[in-house]
Every structure is written in structure tokens, then in C-alpha cells.
Amino acid sequence: MPTTPAAAVTLSSAQLALLQRLARRQTADQRLVRRASIVLALAADPCVEAAARRLRLTRLTVRHWRERWLQAAPQLQRAERALAPEPALLALIAQALADAPRPGAPATFNPEQVVQLVAVACEPPEKSGRPIDHWTARELADEVTKRGIVPSISPRSVGRFLKGGRPAAPQEPLLAPR
């Protein structure tokens, strides 16, 4: 049974130069470098299996990024025809090679609420009329709910927020031990 030839990845000279620069950049995200290398390999040889073997990736990965590039190609061509500046083209290429949004529930707490929670944790508990020396996760959860910063929050979530911002070996704990 005859197979259809693979969709070829064709690159303009500007796209080729930008992808090569991106693949060689020392400070670029390695996922971006790998994806640029995939597109460059496919431009040189449209065989997915050969590109996958050369880059030591799976055929599925190479095929996925070929499809993503082919979807973004018309937008890149339009930008080039409109004589977009090089930084704009580079941003479009990076956007085409970026991770797709992941599915899932939206965040329960916005960054402003987290910042306000940390600010309350930095205040002395006596200022809030609490008869304690150090904040506990439960007391802090009660206080931010009472102040209307969040409608409700569990002590575990409070602990996760405060733990995430601390250095690996804190000098002083933000919360009292259990």
C-alpha cells in the first residue's frame, strides 16, 4: 500500500537563521532548543524517523513538533511579508515552539491574595488581637478569612504558600511547629 509523503518543513532564510541562533543560544530554555533542533532537522530531511534517530527522540515527539510548526508557518510567513522586525519574528517562533496550555482547574487563589496572606504572616499576631506568639497555619487561615482576603482557605494551603517562598534552610520558621 503506497504511503503519502511526509509534509515537508520549508524554512525561509530568516526563519533558518533565527532557529539556528535559538538552537545555539547558551541561555535558552532547553525545551526550546530541542524543538528548534527538531524543526531544523526536518527542514534538512523530512523523514521523521531519521530526525528522531539523529536527535535521539521518539517519532511521536518529532511528528508532534512538525505539526505544530506547520500550523504556525502561515502566521510566520505573514509576519515576514509584513516586514516584521527580527525580535517580533523570534517571539513568533518561540511562541510556536512553546508549551501548549495545560488542562486543569484554574488557580483557586490569585497572586494578590497570596501576597496579602504572606503580608499577614509577617505581621505580629498581637496586632490582630490574637493571644499567640507565632502564627500557626490554622490561626493564619482564620485571620485571612476574617479579613476577607479569601472566602475560605485550609491550613494546609496556607502552609504550602508559606513553604514555597522560603529558602531551603530558613533562619527562622514562619509558623510555629505543630
Residues 116-136: tens digit of each pLDDT: 999 999 999 999 898 999 999
Answer yes or no: is pLDDT of 175 > 80.
no
H-assigned helices in 45-100: 48-55, 59-81, 86-96
Name the pLDDT band for 169 (thresholds 50, 70, 90).
low
Residue 125 confidence (pLDDT): 92
Residue 39 confidence (pLDDT): 96
Answer yes or no: is pLDDT of 168 > 90.
no
Residue 107 confidence (pLDDT): 85
Query: Which residues are within 8 A (CB) of 15 and not within 5 positions of it... i.e. 6 or more apart?
Result: 76, 80, 89, 93
Answer yes or no: is pLDDT of 19 > 90.
yes
Mean pLDDT of the chain, nearest integer: 88
Residue 104 confidence (pLDDT): 87
Residue 171 confidence (pLDDT): 60
Grid cell 525561509 is found at 12
Answer yes or no: is pLDDT of 146 > 90.
yes
